[in-house]
Structure 1
Amino acid sequence: MSEDRLSIKKEKENEKTASGEIKVAERCPECGSTNIIRSYDRGELTCMDCGLVIDEKIIDQGPEWRAFTPEEKEKRGRVGPPISTTSVEGVSPTVIQWPGRDATGHKLSPQKAFEVSRWRRWQIRSRIQTSQDRNIQQAANHLERIAFRLNLPQNVKEEALKIYRAAVKAGLVRGRSIESVMAASIYAACRILKVPRTLDEIADYTKAGRKDVARCYRLLLRHVKLNIPIADPVDFVPRIVSALGLSGVLQRKALEIIQQARKAGLTAGKDPAGLAAAAIYIASLQTGERKTQKEIARAAQVTEVTVRNRYKELIRKLKIPITS
């Protein structure tokens, strides 16, 4: 019997597939039965009719978790890089770091540092083949930096990179700053997903400045099919209130003021962040949680002049009584 088991093992070794998996024997070599059970608990392949252990010490190479849908399988799997659209398609995110120290922390000699630097250049060239790939990789670096500073969620980053890819395809990046087009793409993504960030906030983290970013944003609107919803001042209120540490009562009051302004037709064509800031300022006066126009303007990333102008307009046209 031991010889039969050994011959079966050899036969099965010859039945390995291209992926390295072993095909299960269809019949028992002892009785010819096909009633064969594989037990991963014991690591055995056993004939249930005659009791012959056909194979033993079988290794379960599958995952330890169970999944019943493709979504669960993708979510629970831990092999391979994270699935993300914020990296260049087909490009590995692993790179050789700038030469300085070895794996043990010791400083590299000048000659060794030069060699590592050369390896790094060649690796980057082999990873990113085309100029378009290099362009998108550089844009992705700007995206990660700006998104980190603004604490933007993953869905905004993915949408921004999708918009930037469309801009590259439309030829909008040629002759323009990659950083500016990326910043404009981030602003468009925030507008689409209703994440309250102003153009000024995003432009503050670029070298190009607001004017250049605004110009690129207008180009995106003209040449890329974007479904940009109208910015709502309501979306800005919670973030400003939270930044100032104000109460929920004040927040509800500010939202009521914005609703009144909308019914009166005062929101059209107005900066939503400035309108939200003015409503919060009025609510702070009414509830006694007083904040200066300067403090609110800073939290809303708008100017004091904007807050003051919107404040005067709201109290005049809505006839809001303000006690000094």
Structure 2
Amino acid sequence: MTDSNTHSRRMDDNSATNFDDQILHRRIKTAERGSETLPVAKAEINRLCAELSLDDSIETVAQAIYRRSLQTDVIQNRTIAEVATATVYASCRIERRAISLTEVASAAATGKKHASRVYSEISRELSLNTGPTDPKDFVPRFCDELDLSKKTEEKAIEILEETMDKGLHSGKSPSAFAAASVYATALLCNEARTQTEVAAVAMVSENTIRTRYQEQIHAMGITEDE
């Protein structure tokens, strides 16, 4: 293939990508519901699921939610990127895959604030059975990414169960609450990880880890010197 042909093909590929990006960030209008939006949305859902290492079942459910959303008014004036992000997160909740909206939005081409609003509206409009997120579901993945032992993982779940029985998790981010228990347990089991490391895995701030950690050890009667 000649250099000119290669250059031409690259220009065509870039043009196609730019075209898809333009559609992805364009607000959905009534006439676009069944035409341009679905192929681009399916591609974005596929990309998000691949980047986040999500199961095929989550991708399938997310696409089904998107198709159902097209029949409602809730997606009017939303971008395809926002709706695709919201449907992937909703699918994770339905399939009990522990992942935060922050993680999904970070991998997506949209912001958390907008995706959160769309997720809430779609869940309500479609009566999705998303249910509450259990902080314990995050522990295995966090421990795996931090290279912590099975003993530490089991102890972190024990801490969560004890503090959740006290209602300490109410109104708090499930992923941050779980991350704090992992941080606390790693210290107790002599597998200490820094707040920076734990915060990076959970995609929350170090200050949040510190606050939740202090709340948990206080509730269990543990001092920071122990």
TM-score for both structures, normalised by structure 2: 0.84
**SS of aligned partner of 2:199:** helix
**SS of aligned partner of 1:236:** helix
**2:64 counterpart residue number:** 162
**1:142 counterpart residue number:** 44
**SS of aligned partner of 2:46:** helix
The alignment status of 1:191 with 2:93, answered yes or no, reads yes
**1:245 counterpart residue number:** 147
Identity %: 33
Distance 2:63 2:132 in 1: 21
**SS of aligned partner of 1:246:** coil
Once the two structures are superposed, the pairs formed by residues 13-28 of structure 1 within 5 Å of their partners are none
Deviations 1:265-323 (A, max 9, x none): 11222111111111011111111101111101111111111111111111112212443
Distance 1:309 1:321 in 2: 14
Amino acid at match of 1:286: L
The alignment status of 1:226 with 2:128, answered yes or no, reads yes
Match of 2:175 among 256, 265, 273: 273
Amino acid at match of 1:270: K
Match of 2:138 among 222, 236, 239: 236
The alignment status of 1:300 with 2:202, answered yes or no, reads yes
**1:181 counterpart residue number:** 83
Q: Deviation at 1:155?
A: 0.3
Distance 1:211 1:289 in 2: 35
**SS of aligned partner of 1:239:** helix
Q: Deviation at 1:218?
A: 1.5
Structure having the larger proportion of residues in helix: 2
Work out which structure has the larger RCO, using CA pairs closer than 8 Å and 6 or more positions apart in sequence: 2
Preserved contact between residue 62 and residue 88 of structure 2 (Cα < 8 Å): yes
Distance 2:63 2:159 in 1: 36
Number of aligned positions between the proteins: 204
Structure 1: 5+ residue runs without aligned partners?
1-105, 122-129
Larger radius of gyration: 1
Preserved contact between residue 297 and residue 307 of structure 1 (Cα < 8 Å): yes
**2:222 counterpart residue number:** 320
Q: Deviation at 1:182?
A: 0.6
Distance 1:280 1:223 in 2: 36
Distance 1:281 1:171 in 2: 43
Preserved contact between residue 241 and residue 251 of structure 1 (Cα < 8 Å): yes
**2:23 counterpart residue number:** none
Distance 2:37 2:50 in 1: 20
CA-based RMSD: 2.0
Q: Give structure 1 regions of 4+ aligned residues with deviation exceeding 6 angstroms.
A: none
**SS of aligned partner of 1:291:** coil
Once the two structures are superposed, the pairs formed by residues 1-324 of structure 1 within 5 Å of their partners are 106-107=1-2, 131=32, 132-323=34-225
